[in-house]
Amino acid sequence: MTEAVLYDAETGLPGRPLLTDRLRMALRGSERTGHEVGLVLVDLESVEDPEGPVTATALVGVLKEVGERLSACVRGVDSVGRLGPTTFALVLQGEVGEEGLGVLARRVLFELSPPVIVGRRQHFVLARLGGTIARPRVDDPGTMLQRARQALAAAQEPDGELFVLQLP
């Protein structure tokens, strides 16, 4: 595959094919090490500019900054990528656990809380998160993505929490 297919053009982050491959590799590695693999989806529920509508150029700037902030939340062995127009994914390897995903979710929400400055204008981001942990030697990337999407859908409910964890 070409680099244009593997990486998101707007953020420079791994796109869906590369991120799915990294998730697959993390799952294979967990079979050898016995460590967990976590997956957290981050959806930007809203991007607001109090001074007026968000332009397409400003939105690209916001997406880049969000990608950088998410990358700062994870370790070097973990991966951050963009799955869709407003959806990012974090693939976490090693000692993850429920508590670790909760800590990460709080850090992500904290890092996304300051406004994003694009072109001298402030843009406020509201994100919802859904996550899951792999079952060793059982889950594949598709199953994990499906569970994480279900968790994200629960978080996006009108009275939903900002982070929902769906366990296997």
Backbone angles phi, psi at 37, to 5 degrees: -125, 130
Residue 4 confidence (pLDDT): 59
Q: Where are the domains of the chain?
A: 3-165
- Taking the whole predicted model, whether its pTM rises above 0.85 is answered as yes
> What's residue 138's pLDDT?
85
Q: How far apart are CA 83 and CA 36, in angstroms?
A: 22
Query: Could you give the CA distance from residue 56 to residue 65 in angstroms, rounded to a whole number?
Result: 14
CB 123 within 8 A of CB 62: yes
Question: What is the pLDDT at residue 35?
Answer: 87
Q: Out of 4-8, 72-76, 150-154, 157-161, which region has the weakest mean confidence (pLDDT)?
A: 4-8
Query: Is the distance from CB of 111 to CB of 127 less than 8 angstroms?
Result: no
Q: What CATH class does 3-165 carry?
A: alpha beta
Residue 84 C-alpha from the chain's centroid? 10
pLDDT given at position 3? 62
8 Å CB contact between 91 and 104: no
What DSSP letter does each residue of 37-54 carry, written as one string? Answer: EEEEEEEEEEEE-TTSPP
Per residue in 27-44, pLDDT tens?
999 988 888 999 999 999
How high does pLDDT run on average in the chain? 94
Instruction: Inform me whether the pLDDT recorded for 22 exceeds 80.
Output: yes
pLDDT tens-digit profile of 81-132? 999 999 999 999 988 899 999 999 999 999 999 999 998 999 999 999 999 9
34: Cβ contacts below 8 Å, ≥ 6 apart? 136
| Phi, psi for 165 (deg, rounded to 5) | -110, 125
Q: What is the pLDDT of residue 95?
A: 81
Work out the percent of the chain whose per-residue pLDDT is above 90: 85
- Nearest-CA neighbor of 27 among 102, 99, 135? 135
